[in-house]
Structure 1
Amino acid sequence: MNELYIKQKVFSLSGKFTVKDKQQQDVYYVEGSFMQIPKTFSIMNMARAEVALITKKTFSFLPKFFVEVNGQERLTIQKEFSLLKARYTIDGTGIEIRGNWWDMDFQILQNGEVIGQVNKEWFSWGDSYKVQILNDEMEEVVIAIVVAIDCVKADQAAAASGGA
């Protein structure tokens, strides 16, 4: 089992942050596109090679995000039409999320087997998440899912504040 930590900088306009290990060493770099269409987040390894890409679909009635890992589309996150509370569906190759993903407290399963666990760290500046990887081969997929869900949440928060 591997534990990684994602801590975003609260005032970062470009959406740049790192994923660290227990020893606070950088493991992955995440860079969001700034003022670019379509909005993307690139996840890179220590050699700065892209291992995952999250892309927001540009022209759709409801927000939709595509998650690619190592050049293969792994899952899609789509907002459902709802009058009261925002609801999203996650479609992937045998991937499912169980728990409260809106509050970043959930398990990631592939074909019924838990491959990752995510918990929000509550007493920290900015959003900070502890990510436990239970299947080392799926590490990049798990990190991409966590970043994608956070991207969806940020998009929803921006839409809500823009409409107020």
Structure 2
Amino acid sequence: MKQLYIKQKVFSFGGKFTVKNQQEQDVYFVEGSFMQIPKTFSIMNAARDEVALITKKVFSFLPTFFVEVDGRDVLTIKKEFSFFKARYTIDAAGITVHGNWWDMDFEVLQHGEVVGKVSKEWFTWGDSYKVEIVDEEMEKMMIALVVAIDCVKADQATASSAATH
């Protein structure tokens, strides 16, 4: 089982950060667009080839994020209409998420089989998300999913902050 780490609270739409392995080596590079429409995050491998792209849908009533891996659409994260608490759904062929994905503590299953797990790590390079890859073919999708969920959370925090002012 492969383990990768993403440092918490580094996400912003103009941000750049890396995904590290257990030896603290950079494995993926993530770059967010800044003052660009649509807002995007590009995930690149060590050779700086783009392996995944997250895009926020521009004109939609409720926020929607599209995730591509290797040029193929693999999942969509959509905000659902609700009056009390923000609710989101993850749509992906054969992919389900079990657990509390809003607090980054969940398992990812493909056709009922666990392909990866995400949890908070408290004692590595400051607080980090630990991404455990069970099926290495799903590694890029797992990294893209974690970055996309954090994009959604950052977008929600920005919207909540704007609504209170």
Under a length normalisation based on structure 1, what TM-score does the superposition of the two structures give? 0.94
Matched residue, 2:94: 94
- Contact 1:9/1:17, CA 8 A, preserved across alignment: no
Matched residue, 1:79: 79
- Contact 2:38/2:57, CA 8 A, preserved across alignment: yes
1:53 correspondence with 2:53: yes
Distance in 2, matches of 1:71 and 1:143, equals 15
C-alpha spacing 1:128/1:105, structure 2 compared with 1 (3 Å): same
Matched residue, 2:68: 68
Return 5+ residue gaps in structure 1 as ranges. none
Amino acid at match of 2:46: M
C-alpha spacing 1:28/1:38, structure 2 compared with 1 (3 Å): same
C-alpha spacing 1:49/1:97, structure 2 compared with 1 (3 Å): same
Distance in 2, matches of 1:16 and 1:9, equals 12
Per-residue deviation, 1:12: 6.2
Amino acid at match of 2:31: E
C-alpha spacing 1:11/1:149, structure 2 compared with 1 (3 Å): closer
Cα offsets for 1:48-72 (capped at 9, x unmatched): 0000000000000000000000000
| Runs (4+) off by over 3 Å | 8-13, 122-127
Q: Alignment identity in percent? A: 73
User: In structure 1, the residue corresponding to 2:155 is in which secondary structure?
Assistant: helix
C-alpha spacing 1:92/1:120, structure 2 compared with 1 (3 Å): same
User: In structure 2, the residue corresponding to 1:14 is in which secondary structure?
Assistant: coil
Cα offsets for 1:66-85 (capped at 9, x unmatched): 00000000000000000000
Distance in 2, matches of 1:91 and 1:126, equals 31
Cα offsets for 1:70-111 (capped at 9, x unmatched): 000000000000000000011001111100001000001111
User: In structure 2, the residue corresponding to 1:30 is in which secondary structure?
Assistant: strand
Per-residue deviation, 1:128: 1.8
Matched residue, 1:39: 39
Amino acid at match of 1:111: H
